[in-house]
Amino acid sequence: MKISQYTFLGMAILFAACSTEDKRSDASGTFEADEVIVSAEATGKILSLNLEEGMNLRKGNVVGTIDPVPLELQKAQLEATIGTLHQKTMDVKPQVKLLKDQGEVLKAQLENAFSERIRLHNLIKADAATTKQLDDINLQIDVLKKQIEANQQQIKVQETITGTQNNTVLSEYTPLKKSVAQIDDQLSRTRIVNPVSGTVLTKYAMAGEVTAAGKALYKIADLSVITLRAYITETQLSQIKLNQKVKVLVDTDPKHYKTYPGVITMIADKAEFTPKTIQTKDERANLVYAIKVHVKNDGLLKIGMYGEIKFDMNQ
């Protein structure tokens, strides 16, 4: 079988192109980013969602609101319940004051009885009074002492009963305040706050729709630093290390490419089968190791773009 001159020349060109490609890169892969799916934290109607795909957002930006009215009504009801608790409590002071006043009267009567007993003692010595009168005043003194003691007990009992009743009513105060704090937390979640700085990739919801807690609203990613996930063979592991600087190549047209400096941030510790869409330096390799390279994005790099890596920065 004869091979024509043109066939031989074509094979030579193809071989040269493959050789050039081999010299150009040591690994290849696609760009990706750490994507964050922002979900609703409250249930209700979306009143506003001020963002569009491709928009750049900063961390902490309020991008929308969910209807807070149902929660505000619950909070108002709880606060009204708390306000009625003080109306249910009893003021023990008037009753205690009345008992103390009665006690003061009894003490005054007791003082008078003591004075009368002293007077009767003197009269008995002068044979101007009988012992029965003295016995009567002593009995009166004993009765007054018992009445004063009972009065003191009544004051203590009244204070204890009223205090217990008030404590029972006021024991509802702390749980109700906790419920109000819980409602306040839920109200704060009706504000849709952007969690990370980045670019909106996908918008899943619109203003006017009814959402639920945990339902996705939009997807965002920080594209200022983008990651190239590439794959290398086992023989290439000895050529790289973490935080190593590498050269990243991205095609701009069929004949030209643009280079970016990159840093290796991850090297897989376990091998995996070569993904079908990935070409390695050794096409016969069945098992490869994934690596991640961080590249500062100038705005041209996009998620899903194809990129190549050259380990030697001098080449």
Phi, psi of 144 (to 5 degrees): -65, -40
pLDDT, residue 2, reads 40
Weakest-pLDDT range from 53-57, 73-77, 249-253: 249-253
Asked whether the beta carbons of 187 and 259 are under 8 A apart, the reply is no
- In angstroms, the CA 290 to CA 34 distance is 16
pLDDT category, 257, cuts 50, 70, 90? confident
Strands 62-66 and 44-49 come out as antiparallel
**Percent of the chain predicted with pLDDT > 90:** 44
State the average pLDDT for the chain: 83
Q: Domains of the chain: which residue ranges? A: 27-33+222-311, 74-190
Q: Long-range contact list for 87-93, CB < 8 A, 24+ apart?
A: 88/169, 89/165, 89/166, 89/169, 89/170, 90/162, 90/165, 90/166, 92/158, 92/159, 92/162, 92/163
Q: Does the model's pTM come out above 0.95?
A: no
The pLDDT-based confidence of 279 (bands split at 50, 70, 90) is: low
pLDDT for res 1:
37
pLDDT of residue 12: 33
Digit-coded pLDDT (tens) for 167-180: 666 677 788 888 99
Q: Say what percent of the chain tops pLDDT 70.
A: 82
Q: Does residue 215 sit in helix, strand or coil?
A: coil
Comparing 132-146, 155-169, 205-219, 261-275, the range with the smallest average pLDDT is 155-169
- Pick the residue with more confidence: 111 or 14? 111
* pLDDT over 70 at 89, yes or no: no
Is the pLDDT confidence value at 274 over 90? no
pLDDT category, 197, cuts 50, 70, 90? very high
Under 8 Å between Cβ of 44 and 209: no
Residues 6-34: pLDDT tens digits? 333 333 333 333 334 444 688 889 999 98
> Looking up tokens 């009893």, which residue turns up?
90
Strands (E), the chain: 27-32, 35-39, 44-49, 56-57, 62-66, 191-193, 198-203, 210-211, 216-221, 225-232, 245-253, 256-267, 272-273, 287-296, 306-310
pLDDT of residue 102: 85
Q: Which CATH superfamily is domain 27-33+222-311 in?
A: Efflux pump adaptor protein, beta barrel domain (2.40.30.170)
Among all chains, which residue has been given the structure tokens 């040269």? 16
